[in-house]
Chain A
């Protein structure tokens, strides 16, 4: 083996940027502990620009109070000894909820030109972020879980912010709307567990948007660069009632001006939402020339409007490559609402999805409308490779009849395979 002194030198004498590389990859606790390795390592950790504290560093077997104290103690210590810029600060320790120390840490960080700030508290109470958080002018990345936001009146926006995630957080709706519009560079925005009667998003540089919560109305006003859109709704009685009363076309409110959309994910109830006020196609404008990936969850195939939304998106997205649909059909009504004329009209449409290669149909109950839909996709997709179909658990006897029916449908693509995915009983 090598001369021991020599080898020690190799490690300790690594270029400082590499030592930093190593230290930032360590859990912060291990990084701090390198200070007692040797004289050369004494102060090495104190200049790492990223500080990430999470629960993993504290034994989970201890009572919450102990973890809490340990965590506070440790973070105080690290901040005291740290020397130099802190670009990234991440704190995700659930039990630190409503702990006043966090206010101080944030105040301390507010003098550090921090770029990325993450606070993931996950407990019963909301944490009201101190006003000094809103003075982080270098911030590019902000992620808050279970926080309450109340920017001071002097707040003029985060001029550098690109990434914003608010989960289970709380604020007035107009605060959020103005927060978004006062972050001119915002590219990535996530808002979940949100409760708002109406939300309007205006963000000229936004590329990624995810919304989840109780929304009555959603408007994408100025989002010309949007690439990925994912929306899920919680359907409350209140919202269901509101949707019944809505007369305007929801689809145009959201998908009216997103010319660069590449990926659309309609999570729970969003297809239902889009179907409200659905207009005849000739009165809808817009094609989605860049849309490659479309996922629609909980499509109610008993509802002609929901089916229309799905068909409309497929027909108007010439670049579509992947399609995933999960059904949520009410079997009782579905076959009553079956309208042969409607489908004959669709099948006779002169359209095709030239790039569609992969289709996944999940939770299929085998009702007529679903089968016609599959027939439509098979007939209009000349490049299709795989059409996989997973029957709903309620389909009796493995859906043998459904399968026989499916195999009869003509396929526009000679290489299209139908994969019938049955759960092993």
Chain B
């Protein structure tokens, strides 16, 4: 260990300094107690006896350039002092992280390479705060991110790392969606711009006509939202399925009476299934209406919708027996979904969250 030697050969002044070299080649000496606050430097000093002189300067990792090093040393200089109150430290930290995002990223990266965990925590928390609650556009602007995902790309297949049949299913759905997108493009030329809600129902009609065995779940006409919500509330109140059905049919027919152009579709998709619990056919739509990511762009939203739907299907088809077993495990008090592995396309609608 060189510390002993240092103490003998180099009195006070030299003893308390460590030599550091940044990747851009500049060498500087730093107070020992400040430099040693970085675990990476500390380790070098203790294990490799480096840093004792200019010739034995500790080479810092690539990510630490001179400007960033000086910031990091400011941080260490403040925090290595014992006896500061938490309040003092907090207010220092708050001021310390006030810098442009690019610098903040560089600082985070550099702190990570020096294993300076408290600073990594501080800066990544700051970066997280810049993302939290923001729209994608705002985030892109803050971090100068390229908006390089086209609507098409957003629907591109998921990477299938684990050869998971789920992902394959999803990808098939994506492919279909892409086709639909193209159809939509064609239709756009014909249709009037403002009738946004119509697109979906046309899609829906298309897939219905094309034998997309009820793939009409992406119906999301805004008008419907209200109706469906109402229905949901009703279904909450009435436990009786029949009563439910009546309510729904009531609302549906009134929807049609309103004369809204697109309202035909949902009833169309519903009619063939009316012998089953009406709730089943309604619920997928209802869920998608209540999409959490209201601000998501429609393509993404649709994509996610499909993924969920697929998840439900997977749960139903992959291990139905297992599910059945689990769901029936002593749950007398609770509603257990019916027809978990019912035949035909209906089973996929059977959502497990239904009461």
B268 at the interface (CB under 8 A from A): no
Please determine whether A7 and B287 come into contact, CB atoms closer than 8 angstroms. no
Please determine whether B307 and A38 come into contact, CB atoms closer than 8 angstroms. no
Stretch touching chain A among B48-56, B80-88, B180-188, B288-296: B288-296
A404 at the interface (CB under 8 A from B): no
The B183-230 residues at the A interface (CB cut-off 8 A) are 229
Stretch touching chain A among B3-11, B119-127, B247-255, B259-267: B119-127
Chain A contacts for B109, CB-based, 8 A: 10, 14-15, 18
- Known A-B contacts A21-B121, A37-B145, A100-B337; the reply to A66 vs B290 at CB < 8 A is yes
Chain A contacts for B170, CB-based, 8 A: 80
Chain B contacts for A130, CB-based, 8 A: 326, 329
B106 at the interface (CB under 8 A from A): yes
Please determine whether B236 and A65 come into contact, CB atoms closer than 8 angstroms. yes
Please determine whether B300 and A36 come into contact, CB atoms closer than 8 angstroms. yes
Stretch touching chain B among A70-78, A280-288, A322-330: A70-78
Please determine whether A18 and B147 come into contact, CB atoms closer than 8 angstroms. no
Question: Per a CB cutoff under 8 Å, which of A12, A33, A68, A100 touches B145?
Answer: A12
Question: Per a CB cutoff under 8 Å, which of A18, A36, A68, A103 touches B297?
Answer: A36
A247 at the interface (CB under 8 A from B): no
Please determine whether A30 and B330 come into contact, CB atoms closer than 8 angstroms. no
Question: Per a CB cutoff under 8 Å, which of B144, B300, B310 touches A80?
Answer: B310
- Known A-B contacts A66-B290, A104-B352; the reply to A26 vs B148 at CB < 8 A is no
Chain A contacts for B101, CB-based, 8 A: 7, 11
Please determine whether B148 and A81 come into contact, CB atoms closer than 8 angstroms. no
Chain A contacts for B40, CB-based, 8 A: none
A4 at the interface (CB under 8 A from B): yes
Distance (whole angstroms) from the CB of A124 to the closest CB of chain B: 11
Distance (whole angstroms) from the CB of B254 to the closest CB of chain A: 21
Distance (whole angstroms) from the CB of B47 to the closest CB of chain A: 23
Please determine whether B102 and A37 come into contact, CB atoms closer than 8 angstroms. no
B166 — nearest CB in chain A belongs to which residue?
A80
A60 at the interface (CB under 8 A from B): no
Distance (whole angstroms) from the CB of A113 to the closest CB of chain B: 15
- Known A-B contacts A74-B292, A77-B311; the reply to A30 vs B149 at CB < 8 A is no
Please determine whether B143 and A8 come into contact, CB atoms closer than 8 angstroms. yes
Stretch touching chain A among B26-34, B89-97, B131-139, B269-277: B131-139
B170 — nearest CB in chain A belongs to which residue?
A80
Q: Complex Cα distance A58/B140, Å?
A: 24
Please determine whether A36 and B296 come into contact, CB atoms closer than 8 angstroms. yes
Distance (whole angstroms) from the CB of B260 to the closest CB of chain A: 23
Stretch touching chain B among A39-47, A292-300, A364-372: A39-47
Distance (whole angstroms) from the CB of A31 to the closest CB of chain B: 8
A107 at the interface (CB under 8 A from B): yes
Please determine whether B133 and A30 come into contact, CB atoms closer than 8 angstroms. yes
A64 — nearest CB in chain B belongs to which residue?
B236
B334 at the interface (CB under 8 A from A): yes
> Chain B at the A interface: mostly helix, strand, loop or mixed?
helix
Count residues of chain B with CB under 8 A from any CB of chain A.
72
Chain B contacts for A238, CB-based, 8 A: none
Please determine whether B145 and A14 come into contact, CB atoms closer than 8 angstroms. no
Q: Complex Cα distance A21/B315, Å?
A: 31
Distance (whole angstroms) from the CB of A98 to the closest CB of chain B: 5
A2 at the interface (CB under 8 A from B): yes
B98 at the interface (CB under 8 A from A): no
A205 at the interface (CB under 8 A from B): no
Chain B contacts for A58, CB-based, 8 A: 292
Please determine whether B290 and A30 come into contact, CB atoms closer than 8 angstroms. no
Chain B contacts for A14, CB-based, 8 A: 105, 108-109
Please determine whether A73 and B292 come into contact, CB atoms closer than 8 angstroms. yes
Q: Complex Cα distance A254/B286, Å?
A: 55
Please determine whether B112 and A80 come into contact, CB atoms closer than 8 angstroms. no
Chain A contacts for B290, CB-based, 8 A: 62, 66, 69-70, 73
Interface residues of chain B, those whose CB is within 8 Å of chain A, are 100-102, 105-106, 108-109, 112, 120-121, 124-125, 127-128, 131-134, 136, 139-140, 143-149, 153-154, 158-159, 161-162, 166, 170, 229, 232-233, 236, 286-288, 290-293, 296-297, 300, 304, 307-308, 310-312, 314-315, 322-323, 326-327, 329-331, 333-337, 352-353
- List 27 A–B pairs whose Cβ atoms lie within 8 Å, in order of A's numbering: A8-B144, A10-B106, A11-B102, A21-B120, A22-B127, A25-B125, A29-B292, A29-B293, A30-B132, A33-B296, A34-B139, A36-B296, A38-B140, A38-B145, A42-B149, A65-B232, A69-B232, A70-B287, A72-B353, A73-B291, A74-B292, A80-B308, A80-B310, A80-B311, A100-B336, A100-B353, A103-B327
